[in-house]
Structure formats: structure tokens, C-alpha cells
Amino acid sequence: MILRIAAVSLGLVAASAIPFAPSSAAPQAQAQAAAQAPAATPAPATAGPIPLENFAQLPFFEAPSLSPDGKKVAGEIAIKGKQRFAIIELADTSHVALIDPGDVDLRSWSWVNNDWLVAVVAATRDVEGDSWILSRAVAISADGKKSQILGKDMAAQDAGEILWKASDGTPHILLSLQTSIYSNEEGFWPEVRDFDVSNGRSKRVAGPVPNVMDWYADGAGIVRAGIAYNDDSRSSSLLYRDKQGATFHTIARARGRGSSLGNVPAMFLPEPGKAIAYDDDDGFNALYNLDLATLKTGDKLFGVPGYDLDDLITADDGTRLIGVEYTDTRRRTHWFDPALAEIQTAIDKSVGERRANIVSWSRDFGVMIVWVGGADRPGDYYVFNQADGRMRFLAHVSSTLVAAHYAPVKTIHYKARDGLDISAVLTLPRNKSATKLPLIMMPHGGPFARDDESWDWQAQFLADRGYAVLQPNYRGSSGFGTEFGNKGKGQWGLAMQDDLIDAVKWAAAQGIADDKRVCIVGGSYGGYAALRAAQRDKGVYRCAVSYAGVSDMTGILHYDSGFLNGGRTKDYWRSQADDLKAVSPINFAADFSIPVLLMHGKVDKRVPVKQSREMAERLKAAGKTYRYVEQPTGDHHFSEETNRVQFLKELEAFLTQYNPA
């Protein structure tokens, strides 16, 4: 039987325009970038606690994207605790066209030309009795009145990977999509089609190839490479062609668990056979020239000592590298383009102690969206126009937290017990002496992720309540080089857990924290670390809070291995510890020595709610002190404001009882 999923509605609904009113305190005046951007409201004079609802509020305006002509901006806005997709005319921001995504996850959006956008969405739907996550690409007109799913009559499970967008003003994109859900059919492997987003018509430009799930195109819209992976043999290969119409041939192979293809193009250059690639030749991810004939790297283009690079920034035709993002203590952009580097320097000078990130721009770079803020403030968005050198206020990120600054944030370093240098982000209460404070240990999720000096609504809430908050980038965190990342292999619940204890010891030795008043709070992997601490690290913490945490390593292995390429997933989980059962808190409920707050979203697709439900059952059977709260509409990422509010209320009540400030 052939199952067609394409006809399933993803629920995008166009709505009428509504007034665009960021907040009643929104500045109305223009400001010169060369002098200064508008200053934020002074900090509150009183030292009383800020309502927790202010911290839980969804960002009012998020991820703005300028149209190629710089006349419109698209992004998400929050209305009554729900996110809506908005398209705003910059010449008249009094009205905004809205699209309500309903139960659809709006993953990304970008402009194709001045008249059309394309968004990538995902939704959970029943397929043959199972719950599946389907992805789609949706064309949206710039006035918000028209939308259509691209390839809806042929799309199977995954049909939302956009490889390329035309840069000549025509409404064309390249889209990779599956046409069957059955692995024994050709259409299970995605093909690439050229879509006219204005009418939904398409033509195939690259057919499916067995085992190739990922395709890559160059700036001219030619599919140039694909990566094939065979889960049975754990083998990978890189397929490549140098021009349209040529046959793909294999230029690299890798075989075995954990093997890597090595240097894969991150960007194709206009010169034949040339590309740019990431490489960690000196231990840290940097940019190099790449010869596609030999897959050998040439000159190093840019790197940051001690840190990995993040994302490339290219000009709209995709053939010119203009910048690269990286994170040391905070997010930064290195502009290769001298004119953009000069603009960044001028804006930086204009905002004083605040930080400025250019987040979007028109095709000619004449108009830019600039975020201005800091780790101690959510910040604001401004429109910068090169023609007159002025920045004009667009919107607050938060309509309730608009003070000049909140809790101070800084990066510290400490030594783990084996001598490893570890960085951590420390947030301190604004109106208290940093001496013998109650401490919240807050490990990040991932675990291959990291914390930096950026606005964190949970850490800021806790600091407002009087706690010092420490967020260690324990071994295995990303961004600190290959060796540091590898030190986390096999160390779930072991050395990674010890790194957290050593951070507590550092804070106590510095006189910042009272080591008798420490609680551990985390989500996802951080939730796992909290549960493991409650079970393993007796005497270190007074309480533990886990949101969407993993409790059963073997259980998550079985859950994840049910997806495509489950063998590789099994390899990953088995590499996290020599004995998964031995580091799974669910198997040791009797060893829990401190009170635990468990919270989990019922519709979490990353870590299934079963992980917390069963942990709660084991704690109950063992007679331990715990509280379990399940959020019926909660996902893995606190996408709804009501769930954020509930989390902070539960967290505050729990800490007041077991680790009061």
C-alpha cells in the first residue's frame, strides 16, 4: 500500500491585520547610529521582586528577517501568550499581517523575493496508527493573504529542506522532499525539485539516490553534492558533481562506528572545483579553502584561538563569504566585508556598554535590523538605514522587562579535579552582596551545547529571587575544540557530573556561595544531571529540579533507535557510558537523598514524557520526597507562555520550601 501524507493539513491560517504595538513605553523618536541608539529605561529603583510572569513572557518580537528590498520585515510576535507569524511594512508599522500557526511548529522562515516568503513547518500527525513528525515547506505571500504547502500532493514524511533560493528576484527555490514513507521504494530517498513558490508548480532537478538523505546546492542553484549513509554497515560516502547534468561520483568514503567523511564543503565557490570547509586541523573548528578534486584543505581563512566557529554568512547569491559567527564568552560576528566591518564598529560605538548584533539585511545592505541588548537585558530591535546613518526603534524583545539592566552576568573559569580548565557563566543578584549566597547549579542541555553571556530568562528569574546561578560548560560541551568535546565521551553521570560538583566547590571557595544551600536545576540533559545528582552526589545538593530530563538511558536508546538510522543512534547512546543501566537514575530510586521536583511536557517529542512518569512512580514506591507536574500542552522547549509561568511558579515554591533564599 502506498500512503500519501501530503494532503494532511498543517493548519496555517491567514488572519486580518492588527495594530503593531510593541509596548506602551515604546520610544517614538529616531536616533542617530553614529551618536547613540536610544537608551533603555533606567533600572527599577526598588529592590522588590519582579513578577515572575515578566520573566516567563514569550519574546514579543523574535528572529526578524528583512525582505530583499528592505521594505518589510517578517518574524514571530507574541500575542496573549501565543506566537504568531507577522509580516510588517516598515514604512507603516501601525498594522501587521498575521498568520496563526495553530499546532504547527514554525521552524524557520526566509524571503524568496519581495513578494514571497517560504517557511519550514512541522507537525505531529497520525500515520498508520503511529505518531509521526511531518515537515513541510510553505509559500507565504508578502501581504499574508495567501499560503500553500509546496509539493503537498507528493510529499511524504520529510519535505521541508530548502537547499537554495533564487537571488535574481524570481520566485524559485530548490526543495528536497521524500515521496514515500516506505524504505523499499525509490521515493523514500528524497529528490530535489525546483519550485515556483508563487504558483506551487515544480520540476525535478535531481532524482533520488539510495541512502542519500542530504543534498547540497551551490549559489547558482545546481545540486552539487549528496551524503549517503548506510545504517547496516555504518558507512558513509560523499557524492559530487562539478556541473549541471554531470553524473554524481563518489569522492570520499568512511566506514565503521563513529567514522567521519572528513572535509565536506560548507560553501561552494564560483571557481571550478573550489569550496570552503570547516576543519579542526589545529584542534578547533576553523575555515579553510578546500580543493574538491583532492578534498585537501589549503589556506586557513579564519579561526579563533580556543574556540570553534559557528555559522557562515554569505551574500544572497550564496557565492561570496561575507562573515562568520562564533562564540567566545558571547556571540560575535567577524565580517570579512570591510564595509560591513566598518558599520559594525560604528554601531558598537553608538550603543555604549550594550552589545549590537546585525541580524538581518536587505540585499544591497542599505537597510539592516540590529539587535541591541546584553546578557543582563533582553534588548531591542532597531532599523538601521545606511542612507542617513540613523537607527530607528522597531520593538522591544520583551514588553515588560525594559529596564537598563537586570542581574549582572560574567564568565568565570575553574579547574576540575583532573586539572581540566572549565568555563562557566555566573549570574548574581543585582541588589545583594556576592557573599555566601544560596546557589543554583544549572547545567545546560545537549549535552553537546554550551552556555554563554546571553539573556537567560530562567537564570535572571532565579537571580531576582536572590540566588547565585552557575552554569558550567562541563566537559563534552560544544564550542571549545575537539579535545574538550571528546573528553565527554563515555562520561554521562560520571566525570561530567564531577565537573558540576567541582563548580560548587569553586563557588564556595570564592566565598560567593554557601555550600550548605545548593540546589541543582536543569532541563533535558540538565534534567538528567539533576536526577543523577539526587541519586549519586549525596551531601552536595539540598534539592533537585528536572524539566524534561532523561532518567532511563536504556529507555531513551530504545525510543531514539526507532527513528531512521536507529543503528547510528544506538551507537551514540552506548558511547555515553560503559554501562547505561549503572548511570540511569531510574534504577536507583532508593538512593535518592534529597527532594525532587519533576516536570515534563506531555507532547515532548525529544525526551518522551514516559521518562519522568516512570521516575515519579519509582520515587513513590521508594517512599522518597518528590513532586511530579505534567504539562498537557508542554513540549521540550517551553513554547507556550502558560507553561513557562507554571514552571516558574512550581520552581519558586519548591525552592522556597527546600532551599530558601
- What domain count does the chain have? 4
Q: CB of 101 within 8 A of CB of 84?
A: yes
* Residue 5 shares a structural domain with residue 147: yes
Task: Supply 449's cell numbers.
Answer: 551545547
356: helix, strand or coil: strand
Please name the residue ranges forming H helices in 381-494: 457-464, 482-486
Residue 47 placed within a domain: no
* Residue 227 shares a structural domain with residue 147: no
If you search the block for the grid coordinates 546571553, which residue do you land on? 454
Q: Which long-range contacts (CB under 8 A, 24 or more apart) does 326-332 make?
A: 327/450, 327/452, 327/479, 328/304, 329/411, 329/423, 329/452, 329/453, 330/355, 330/375, 330/452, 330/453, 330/454, 331/357, 331/452, 331/454
What confidence score (pLDDT) does residue 43 get? 54
At 604-659, the pLDDT tens digits run 888 999 999 999 999 999 999 999 999 999 999 888 999 999 999 999 999 999 99
Task: Supply 587's cell numbers.
Answer: 534504577
The secondary structure of residue 307, as a DSSP letter, is B
In the sheet that 309-314 helps form, which strands lie side by side, from edge to edge?
309-314, 321-327, 331-335
What confidence score (pLDDT) does residue 42 get? 55
What confidence score (pLDDT) does residue 541 get? 98
Residue 352 placed within a domain: no
What confidence score (pLDDT) does residue 24 get? 29
At 216-226, the pLDDT tens digits run 999 999 999 99
* Alpha-carbon span 301 to 312, nearest angstrom: 12
Q: CB of 563 within 8 A of CB of 572?
A: no
130 closest CA partner among 5, 1, 231: 5
CB burial of 301-329 (b: ≥16 within 10 Å; e: otherwise) equals: bebbeebbbbebbbbbbbbebbbbebbbe
Q: CB of 224 within 8 A of CB of 240?
A: yes
* Alpha-carbon span 248 to 250, nearest angstrom: 7
What is the rounded average pLDDT of the residues 130-137? 87
* Alpha-carbon span 365 to 313, nearest angstrom: 13
307 closest CA partner among 479, 486, 482: 479
At 193-208, the pLDDT tens digits run 999 999 999 999 999 9
* Residue 174 shares a structural domain with residue 118: yes
* Residue 8 shares a structural domain with residue 133: yes
Q: Is the peptide bond before 447 cis (omega within 30 degrees of 0)?
A: yes
What confidence score (pLDDT) does residue 129 get? 78
What confidence score (pLDDT) does residue 44 get? 55
At 403-446, the pLDDT tens digits run 878 999 999 999 999 999 999 999 999 989 999 999 999 999 99
* Residue 255 shares a structural domain with residue 306: no
Task: Supply 504's cell numbers.
Answer: 560548587
| Maximum Cα–Cα distance across the chain | 70
What confidence score (pLDDT) does residue 47 get? 59
612 closest CA partner among 578, 643, 589: 589
| Residue 376 identity | D
What confidence score (pLDDT) does residue 86 get? 95
The secondary structure of residue 555, as a DSSP letter, is H
Cβ atoms within 10 Å, residue 265 = 20
Task: Supply 403's cell numbers.
Answer: 529596564
Instruction: Give yes or no for residue 23 having a pLDDT over 70.
Output: no
At 41-97, the pLDDT tens digits run 555 545 589 999 999 999 999 999 999 999 999 999 998 888 899 999 999 887 789
Q: What are phi and psi of 393, to 5 degrees?
A: -60, 135
Range of the domain at 298: 263-331
The number of angstroms, rounded, from the C-alpha of 640 to the middle of its chain's C-alpha atoms is 16
Instruction: Give yes or no for residue 501 having a pLDDT over 50.
Output: yes
372 closest CA partner among 391, 389, 351: 351
- Per mean pLDDT, which of 270-274, 293-297, 339-343 is the most reliable? 339-343
Instruction: Give yes or no for residue 351 having a pLDDT over 70.
Output: yes
* Residue 452 shares a structural domain with residue 550: yes
* Alpha-carbon span 211 to 226, nearest angstrom: 10
- Give the 3-state DSSP-derived string for 146-214, with helices as H, strands as E and coil as C: CEEECCCCCCCCEECEEEEECCCCCCEEEEEECCCCCCCCHHHCCEEEEEECCCCCEEEEECCCCCEEE
* Alpha-carbon span 542 to 441, nearest angstrom: 11
Return the higher-pLDDT residue of 262 and 445.
445
Residue 351 placed within a domain: no
Element (H, E) at 342: helix 338-350
* Residue 251 shares a structural domain with residue 267: no
For all residues of the chain together, what is the average pLDDT? Answer: 89
* Residue 514 shares a structural domain with residue 529: yes
Q: CB of 475 within 8 A of CB of 551?
A: no
Instruction: Give yes or no for residue 30 having a pLDDT over 70.
Output: no
Residue 73 placed within a domain: no
* Residue 257 shares a structural domain with residue 269: no
Residue 201 placed within a domain: yes
Strand spans (E) along 223-354: 223-230, 235-240, 249-255, 265-268, 274-279, 286-291, 296-302, 309-314, 321-327, 331-335
What is the rounded average pLDDT of the residues 447-473? 97
Strands 191-196 and 172-177: antiparallel
What is the rounded average pLDDT of the residues 566-583? 84
What confidence score (pLDDT) does residue 41 get? 55
374 closest CA partner among 287, 486, 454, 273: 454
Strand-pair partners of 460: none
In the sheet that 265-268 helps form, which strands lie side by side, from edge to edge?
265-268, 274-279, 286-291, 296-302
Residue 32 placed within a domain: no
At 207-245, the pLDDT tens digits run 999 999 999 999 999 999 999 998 888 889 999 999 999
* Dihedral class, residue 462 (left if φ above 0, else alpha if ψ from -120 to 50, else beta): alpha
* Residue 194 shares a structural domain with residue 226: no
Rg, Å, the chain Cα set: 25
List Cα–Cα distances, 492 to 155, 474, 541, 607, in angstroms: 39, 11, 19, 16
Instruction: Give yes or no for residue 31 having a pLDDT over 90.
Output: no
Instruction: Give yes or no for residue 3 having a pLDDT over 90.
Output: no
If you search the block for the grid coordinates 526543495, which residue do you land on? 175
Domain finish residue from 280, 304, 331: 331
What is the rounded average pLDDT of the residues 495-518? 98
* Alpha-carbon span 247 to 252, nearest angstrom: 15
Q: Which long-range contacts (CB under 8 A, 24 or more apart) does 460-464 make?
A: 460/55, 460/376, 460/406, 460/407, 460/427, 461/52, 461/55, 461/56, 461/648, 462/427, 462/521, 463/406, 463/407, 463/427, 463/428, 463/429, 463/430, 464/49, 464/50, 464/55, 464/406, 464/407, 464/429, 464/430
Domain finish residue from 274, 308, 331: 331
What is the rounded average pLDDT of the residues 544-553? 96
Residue 90 placed within a domain: no
* Residue 232 shares a structural domain with residue 292: no
Cβ atoms within 10 Å, residue 92 = 9
Q: At 574, is the pLDDT very low, low, confident or very high (cuts 50, 70, 90)?
A: confident
Q: Count CA atoms within 13 Å of residue 583 on its CB side.
A: 22
Q: What are phi and psi of 210, to 5 degrees?
A: -50, 130
* Alpha-carbon span 118 to 168, nearest angstrom: 16
Residue 44 placed within a domain: no
Domain finish residue from 331, 349, 380: 331
Q: CB of 547 within 8 A of CB of 600?
A: yes
What is the rounded average pLDDT of the residues 267-280? 93
- DSSP class per residue in 496-548: HHHHHHHHHHHHHHTTSEEEEEEEEEEETHHHHHHHHHHHH-TTT-SEEEEES
* Residue 571 shares a structural domain with residue 471: yes
If you search the block for the grid coordinates 566547590, which residue do you land on? 505
pTM for the model: 0.90
- DSSP class per residue in 8-30: S----EEEEEEE----TT---SE
